[in-house]
Amino acid sequence: MAKRIVVDPVSRIEGHLRIEAVLDEQNIIKEAYSSGTMWRGLELILKDRDPRDAWAFTQRICGVCTTVHALASVRCVEDAIGAEIPPNARIIRNLMNATQQTQDHLVHFYHLHALDWVDVVSALSADPKATSELAQAVSPSWPKSSVGYFNDLKKRLTKFVESGQLGIFSNAYWGHKGYLLPPEANLMAVAHYLEALEFQKEIVKIHAIFGGKNPHPNYLVGGMACSIDPNSDMAINIEQLNKVKKIVDDTNTFIDQVYIPDLIAIAGFYKGWLYGGGLGNFMSYGDFPESDVDDTSSLLWPRGAILNKDLSTIHDVDPRDVNQVKEEVTHSWYTYAGGDDKPLHPSVGETTPNPGAVPKMPYKHLDTDGKYSWLKTPRWNNNPMEVGPLARVLVAYAKKVPMIVDTVNYVLKTLDVGPEALFSTLGRTAARGIECKQTAGFMTHYYDKLMANIKAGDTKVFNNEKWDPDRWPSDCKGFGYTEAPRGSLGHWIHIKDGKIKDYQIVVPSTWNASPRDSNGNSGAYEAALKGTPMANPEQPLEVLRTIHSFDPCLACASHIMDMNGNEISTVKIL
């Protein structure tokens, strides 16, 4: 009899996610099911509100990627009413977006995903001298690598363990045979975990400077809310701009001297762990416009789709096309007026919860033949798609974007693996690091462009020509997009008589964590788990590795919590 394991909730993510996996007699996952166990409902909250306030509501979907919904929302409203923004506003938005991407990738690698590969308790047996030698070999320019530094860290870690309270390192599968790093590599990784924890809070100060605060910095339909005057104490002045410069430079240093070397060092021990490739279909809306956001040829992150791992053909993507992007609710706890199996483009989408379809609590397992998730099921040209860093890197690599090509080839050469290694959990993790190096470069790029404009006398950040609703069409629709850290994000709005008539949001984790469609096709999470062998089903480390490689953010995708269920084996991870 096939075994079914339940991981609920999946930890080290934003939101609430349940994974059920069916194993064969060899403990290989043959089927998997992804369920978002919360309902969001932001689309309903936004109805009849002022479109100029939509960014403030949508941004609070999530406290992790705190700026991306605001960016997609203001683009969406500006598209609907025909508002143009000044070049400085576009540059500042891109700089804040690059900052968000970079900080998010650092947090993901060290604090959400690294513990799937790093055995913290193993570090207790590390030799500080050997760890120092390893750290200096991995990151020769990084100053925190002395014997004394690692000796002190080992003592701190030992106190954690001896007290019986591992704190932030509690509740994991220490000692699992799937961990392959030697003790010294584990101790080095723990050190960098703590350093990254301290450093990541510095990066987002850029949001506080340009957006007033973090999380949830301020945006403005028509531009940005910050004023710039290099000589004023009442605006962003030269002192604050110099702070931004230092943060940008320090970020690039940390990524070059710590993150990328760590990524390559850790990946070197797991080159054989090439499970989790999943769908083989990848999509990116693209982002970082160098001119108007509708000029997709100016996007530094290119737009496109890849099917069946075929990098020789990049398909055109147009989220406005009513025949391309559609959502269905066949296996979702929603209902459509025209039938749950009739997919809808988000511009005419519906958000009608169907709580009567939710199983009564507590339940043993999901009814995977029926409805089993608060996530809808988006499809592109009827294809399930993976979105996120791997998708963006693959599209850019296939389109021969120089920086991506050079970095990907460097990583592959250093690890002595071929491009096929990218189609895996490990490849997904590596892609995030490759992209992080690129977005840190974008931070420098946009800071330099902003300073050049300021030196030329251009400090304008807001265009008020379309601020007054009397200047809007009485009935209009708009689309706004961005590439969030976790993937393609789209907002669609319908404005009537100056108010929001309808608003729809299709987020990255809806693409990736979606339940099956009406044709039985799995979403990206479900597909990625298939074929993965498990050493110990009672300790589903392999499930966590692959799911965490997507960096789930279920707060964006859904909202209403249910209780844990039971099956042959139920695993609770705190």
Enclosing H/E stretch for 438: helix 425-455
**What is the model's pLDDT at position 201?**
92
Q: Side chain identity at 202, as an amino acid letter?
A: E
**What is the model's pLDDT at position 442?**
98
Neighbours of 498 (CB within 10 A): 14
The alpha helices in 63-204, defined as continuous H runs, are: 68-81, 87-107, 128-138, 147-162, 183-203
With 0-12 CB in 10 A as exposed, 13-18 as middle and 19+ as buried, what is 144?
middle
Diameter of the chain measured on Cα atoms: 74
Set 40, 43, 52, 65: catalytic member: 65
Residue 181 backbone dihedrals phi, psi, to 5 degrees: -75, 145
Do residues 566 and 362 make contact, with C-beta atoms less than 8 angstroms apart? yes
Q: Tell me the pLDDT of the chain (574 aa) as tens digits.
A: 578 999 988 988 888 899 999 999 999 999 999 999 887 788 999 999 999 999 999 999 887 778 999 999 999 999 999 999 999 999 999 999 999 999 999 999 999 999 999 999 899 999 999 999 999 999 999 999 999 999 999 998 888 777 777 666 766 788 999 999 999 999 999 999 999 999 999 999 999 999 999 999 999 999 999 999 999 999 999 999 999 999 999 999 999 999 999 999 999 999 989 999 999 999 999 999 999 999 999 999 999 999 999 999 999 999 999 999 999 999 999 999 999 989 999 999 999 999 999 998 888 899 999 999 999 999 999 999 999 999 999 999 999 999 999 999 999 999 999 989 999 999 999 999 999 999 999 999 999 999 999 999 999 999 999 999 999 999 999 999 999 999 999 999 999 999 999 999 999 999 999 999 999 999 999 999 999 999 999 999 999 999 999 999 887 765 433 334 333 344 444 3
Set 509, 514, 549, 558: catalytic member: 509
Catalytic residue flag (residue 69): yes
Set 76, 226, 436, 556: catalytic member: 556
Do residues 492 and 471 make contact, with C-beta atoms less than 8 angstroms apart? no
Catalytic residue flag (residue 76): no
Catalytic residue flag (residue 14): yes
**What is the model's pLDDT at position 66?**
82
Set 486, 491, 548, 559: catalytic member: 486
C-alpha to C-alpha distance for 423 and 513, rounded to whole angstroms: 18
**What is the model's pLDDT at position 554?**
83
Residue 110 backbone dihedrals phi, psi, to 5 degrees: -85, -40
Contacts 24+ apart (CB under 8 A), 68-71: 68/97, 68/100, 68/482, 68/484, 68/485, 68/489, 69/484, 69/489, 69/491, 69/505, 69/556, 70/216, 70/217, 70/219, 71/96, 71/97, 71/219, 71/480, 71/482
Residue 383 backbone dihedrals phi, psi, to 5 degrees: -105, 135
Give the sheet arrangement for strand 499-506, strand by strand: 475-484, 487-496, 499-506
Set 76, 226, 436, 553: catalytic member: 553
Set 16, 18, 69, 303: catalytic member: 69
CA distances from 183 to 158, 187, 239, 378, 422 (A): 13, 6, 44, 43, 27
Q: Are strands 287-289 and 17-23 parallel, antiparallel or unpaired?
A: unpaired
Catalytic residue flag (residue 553): yes
Catalytic residue flag (residue 549): no
Closest-CA residue to 112 (of 574, 555, 552, 497): 552
Q: Which fold has domain 34-115+207-451+476-532?
A: Cytochrome-c3 Hydrogenase; chain B (1.10.645)
**What is the model's pLDDT at position 307?**
98
Burial 123-134 (b: 16+ CB within 10 A, else e): bbebbbebbbeb
**What is the model's pLDDT at position 172?**
78
Enclosing H/E stretch for 289: strand 287-289
* pTM given for the model: 0.94
Set 4, 14, 184, 491: catalytic member: 14
Listed in order, the ranges of the chain carrying CATH 1.10.645.10 are 34-115+207-451+476-532
C-alpha to C-alpha distance for 543 and 525, rounded to whole angstroms: 10
**What is the model's pLDDT at position 1?**
55
C-alpha to C-alpha distance for 431 and 438, rounded to whole angstroms: 11
